[in-house]
Chain A
Amino acid sequence: MNATDSAFHRLRAANPVPQGSAVEAAALFDRITALPGGGGHPPRALWSRRPVLVLVLALAAGALLAATATALSNWFGDVIGAPQVNSEYSRAQTRLALPPGYAWPELHFPANSVTSRGAGGSYAVAIAQSAWECDWVRAIGVGDAVEQRRAHEALDELMANHAVVAPAGASENWAPPRSARTPTEVFADDGGFQYKERSYREAAAGHPQLLEQSCRANAPPGWHR
């Protein structure tokens, strides 16, 4: 055995998780296969809507052309620094509510960094979303039905009015023009938005596992208890 192999075998032997394990596999399999998918074509009903879709797309294209001048003016000056990010984050706090007992964490955006306009608002929406998710999880834990409903309504409102899905293929810095005025969280076109919606639907139906995972994975330290 040469020295290269020795180093490689040492690495192989150091595998920190040698055994693959997965919990609740059967239940997960059933949940996934209950979803649309499986490599088939979309349901027939979708195809019958094609003329309507064409009309909608044509109208959207017209609206886009009409808005081009505005859009062009918005493209310039869309890179902002720490002062503007902090300002957006503070302003967003006046538009968004947190559940009782939660406080806005201080934002530490690097002074020598820049980002897209609207990032401060986007941080605020993400924080509010995590707070309400954790509040919902806590309310489920203590059986507080009123607070559960309130958290669900708050999250639905955030998804409806403060979250958008970026167009397919858009850059990571894509921001909707409205984000400068309305705090808005941008989701990539990778199913994340739909995954959130599904987690809320399932939690409302008594299956809060995805909601709990989101709280645990996304909330600042101390918010998941």
Chain B
Amino acid sequence: MTPIPATVAEQRFRDVFSHLGAVTAYAHRRGSADADALAAETMAIAWRRLADVPSDDPLPWLYGTARNLLLAEARRAARRTVLREPDPFTPPPELHDLDPQLEHALRALRPLDREALLLVAWEDLTPAQAARVLGIGATAFRVRLLRARRRLRAQLEAAPHVHQAAQLAHVDVEGT
């Protein structure tokens, strides 16, 4: 790994840091308990590992790092739940404001299919960028995205009634 001179490093990090708002919004949408803190930690990791951050397009790397922090946060939350009374179903914050039919359709998708859809639909990433976030090849991502879009459509057509599905709380911590 080639060291980066301090002044160049700071300038490069400024480019990376310009995505702070996008990373914060991503953390919000994925239901982070403290999206600002998670985005700040993502940026601190990017600074520590600046030589690993692609200079041409840092955003997928940042989303991938934020996603790992979100998964770690979800695991900590799962551990804390044993310290409370069993909680009735609590929808993840990312889905609070959705219309119920769409929310139900999203819940019915596999976590990685849903993430593939949301990276493109909500984070506005290209399929190539989203593939890098998930650490899979572009072709595999396109297949997953196509499947996810079909399943979303099928769910919307097949489920006119809203059901209170409770699976999402734990499937969200599934890894890649």
Binding site for B on A (CB under 8 A): 3-4, 6-8, 10-12, 14-23, 25, 28-29, 32-33, 35-41, 105-110, 123, 126-127, 172, 188, 190-191, 195, 210, 213, 216-218, 220-221
Contact = CB atoms under 8 A, between A and B. Distances in A.
B4 A38 contact: yes
Contacts of A19: 21, 25
B86 interface: yes
Nearest to A198: B44
A18 B43 CA distance: 21
A136 B36 CA distance: 21
Contacts of A188: 72
Given A7-B152, A8-B149, A23 B9 contact: no
The prevalent SS among residues of A at the interface is: loop
Contact of B152 (A8, A25, A35, A172): A8
B4 A40 contact: yes
Contact of B50 (A15, A28, A37): A37
B51 A15 contact: no
Contacts of A221: 84
A-B CB proximity, top 6 nearest: A20-B21, A38-B9, A39-B51, A39-B50, A20-B25, A37-B48
Contact of B21 (A15, A21, A123, A217): A21
Contacts, number: 151
B98 to A, nearest CB: 5
Interface centre among A6, A36, A41 (most CB of B within 10 A): A41
Interface stretch (B26-34, B127-135, B161-169): B26-34
28 contacts: A4-B150, A7-B156, A8-B121, A11-B122, A14-B102, A15-B121, A16-B95, A16-B98, A20-B23, A22-B21, A32-B13, A32-B40, A32-B43, A33-B13, A37-B48, A37-B49, A38-B6, A39-B1, A106-B83, A108-B82, A108-B83, A108-B85, A123-B82, A123-B83, A188-B72, A191-B48, A217-B33, A218-B76
A33 B37 CA distance: 16
Contacts of B22: 20
A86 B40 CA distance: 36
Nearest to B7: A38
Contact of A127 (B34, B45, B83): B83
B66 interface: no
A110 to B, nearest CB: 7
Contacts of B24: 20-22
Contact of B29 (A15, A172, A195): A15
B4 A39 contact: yes
B57 interface: no
Nearest to B153: A7
A15 B122 contact: yes
B56 interface: no
A210 B81 CA distance: 23
Contacts of B45: 191
Given A4-B153, A29-B17, A210-B37, A220 B84 contact: yes
Nearest to A28: B40
Highest count of chain A CB atoms <10 Å: which of B1, B37, B150: B37
Contact of B80 (A6, A7, A220): A220
Given A4-B150, A20-B21, A213-B34, A12 B72 contact: no
B3 interface: yes
A3 B155 CA distance: 12
A188 B76 CA distance: 12
